[in-house]
């Protein structure tokens, strides 16, 4: 089962910031928090990931709570091209110590023109 | 740079026919490899993952199987397809950078329709 919970859907106006929340209350000390997004009919695309400190890249920012039980993906200025399903996932340990990644249902972001 | 290739992009197969989907990775060695399936309008379901040649872990056995005959090749197979096998099949990898902490990289997927 997915180790994260996200709202099913969110809406944002174009050119405004978007804050996408994710809860991961069972996170362990070594779990990285990954965010991906999936456009229609495409494979998921990496957005950002982090461990403890807030992270920034050209696509987004990731704000991680001090207790690491939640995080927020921040899109600073939403565009119509940002309309997608956003997934927040944690790395899980499978058989033989292998890392596996279980996706939940994600948050469907709708951007209004 | 690392790239991942999947083929075919689309496939229509009759019920009961066999299936073979191939995924190859370039530009990295010792990747962890993954097969996911996405049914229409649903989330991604992890099917199989592999840490090395011949090493396969299964999340959803059903009537699918996976093999890794070479370090950068991952194959998804079925002997007899079911209608419920229809979906969007995605291959992904994580490169070995000393810790496997780098992100997943996905291929463009194969859209399979079983008729």
Contacting residues of B for A50, CB less than 8 Å apart: none
Q: Across the interface, do B106 and A43 touch by the CB < 8 Å criterion?
A: yes
pLDDT in tens, A3-56: 899 999 999 999 999 999 999 998 887 788 999 999 988 899 999 999 888 999
Using CB atoms, pick whichever of B34, B103, B111 lies closest to residue A46: B103
CB B105 within 8 A of CB A34: no
In chain A, pLDDT over 90 holds for what percent of residues? 68
Minimal Cα distance from B44: which residue of A? Answer: A103
What's the pLDDT band for B60 if we cut at 50, 70, 90? confident
In chain B, pLDDT over 90 holds for what percent of residues? 73
Burial code (b: 16+ CB inside 10 Å, e: under 16) for A27-42 equals beeebbbbbbbbeeee
CB A8 within 8 A of CB A105: yes
What is the Cα Rg of chain B in Å? Answer: 14
């Amino acid at each position: 089962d997915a180790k994260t919970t996200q709202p099913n859907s969110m809406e944002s106006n174009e050119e405004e910031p978007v804050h996408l929340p994710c809860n991961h209350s069972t996170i362990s000390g070594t779990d990285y928090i990954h965010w991906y997004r999936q456009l229609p009919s495409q494979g998921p695309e990496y957005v950002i990931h982090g461990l403890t400190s807030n992270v920034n890249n050209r696509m987004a920012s990731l704000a991680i709570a001090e207790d690491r039980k939640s995080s927020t993906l921040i899109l600073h200025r939403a565009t119509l091209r940002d309309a997608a399903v956003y997934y927040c996932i944690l790395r899980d340990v499978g058989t033989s110590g292998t890392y596996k990644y279980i996706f939940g249902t994600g948050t469907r972001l709708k951007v209004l023109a | 740079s690392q790239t991942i290739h999947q083929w075919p992009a689309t496939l229509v197969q009759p019920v009961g026919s066999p299936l073979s989907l191939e995924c190859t990775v370039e530009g990295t060695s010792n990747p962890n490899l993954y097969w996911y399936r996405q049914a229409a309008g649903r989330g991604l379901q992890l099917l199989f993952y592999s840490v090395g040649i011949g090493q396969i872990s299964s999340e959803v056995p059903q009537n699918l199987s996976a093999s890794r005959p070479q370090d950068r090749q991952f194959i998804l197979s079925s002997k007899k397809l079911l209608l419920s096998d229809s979906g969007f099949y995605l291959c992904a990898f994580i490169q070995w950078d000393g810790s496997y902490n780098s992100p997943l990289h996905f291929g463009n997927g194969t859209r399979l329709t079983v008729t």
